[in-house]
């Protein structure tokens, strides 16, 4: 009978999700959309070129102006605060690392990004790959690019 414990390292490595982490990514589509509340949002789809072109997405909403945040922000629920904070951070990273705005994003653009896998909720929703950060151009990635990815 084989010693099954000898396979543990291989099984652990095979169970890793190579879509999660720091990647090179190309925008494959951008859709202007709305939340169920009617608020505007932009859905950006990526191919993670360092993870066999796996699909990842970024949903980003319009930001309230600073005066509105100062006047009303304290009353926002935690989810709304986190969403706005994420939108501010994404915009800041795009500006600092690529000198771009959300409105400058275009299909075919390439970026270095950080991805996470969303939690699956009690209804079975979730478990997809989401872009949470735009990394500096010279940031190392944890994958191997498939083809030329210019920066």
- CATH number at 91 reads 2.40.50
Question: Could you give the CA distance from residue 7 to residue 2 in angstroms, rounded to a whole number?
Answer: 10
Give the pLDDT confidence of 81-140 residue by residue, as tens digits.
998 999 999 999 999 999 999 999 999 999 999 999 887 777 777 778 999 999 999 887
Residue 9 lies in a domain: no
> Please, is 81 exposed, middle or buried when counting C-beta atoms within 10 Å of its C-beta (0-12, 13-18, 19+)?
middle
Let me know if residue 140 belongs to a domain: no
As for how many domains the chain has, the answer is 1
Taking CA 87 as the corner, what is the angle to CA 86 and CA 91, rounded to the nearest 5 degrees?
A: 115
Per-residue model confidence as pLDDT tens digits over 12-58? 666 566 788 899 999 999 999 998 888 889 999 999 999 889 999 99
Identify whether 10 is part of a domain: no
Question: Does residue 78 contact residue 88 with C-beta atoms inside 8 Å?
Answer: no
Euclidean distance between CA atoms 61 and 78, whole angstroms: 16
Query: Which pTM does this prediction carry?
Result: 0.79
- 143 to 19, 50, 83, 132: CA distances (angstroms): 9, 4, 28, 17
Residue 141, domain member (yes or no): no
Is residue 109 one of the residues assigned to a domain? yes
The answer to the question of residue 69 being in a domain is yes
- The domain in which residue 81 lies consists of 18-135
β-pairing verdict for 129-135 and 21-34: unpaired
Helix (H) or strand (E) holding 27: strand 21-34
User: 10 Å Cβ neighbour count for 49?
Assistant: 21
What is the C-alpha to C-alpha distance for residues 120 and 125, in angstroms, rounded to an integer? Answer: 5
Instruction: Tell me the sheet residues that pair with 40.
Output: 34
């Amino acid at each position: 009978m084989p010693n099954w414990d000898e396979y543990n390292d291989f099984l652990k490595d095979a169970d890793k999700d190579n879509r999660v982490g720091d990647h090179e990514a190309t925008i494959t589509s951008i859709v202007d959309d709305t939340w169920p509340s009617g608020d505007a949002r932009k859905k950006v789809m990526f191919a993670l070129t360092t993870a066999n072109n796996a699909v990842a997405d970024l949903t980003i909403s319009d930001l309230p102006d600073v005066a509105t945040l100062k006047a009303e922000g304290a009353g926002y629920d935690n989810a709304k605060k986190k969403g706005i904070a994420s939108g501010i951070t994404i915009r800041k990273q795009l500006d600092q690392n690529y000198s771009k705005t959300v409105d400058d994003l275009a299909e075919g653009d390439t970026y270095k990004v950080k991805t996470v896998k969303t939690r699956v909720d009690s209804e079975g929703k979730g478990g997809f790959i989401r872009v949470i950060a735009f990394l500096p151009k010279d940031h190392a990635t944890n994958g191997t690019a498939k083809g030329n990815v210019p920066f």
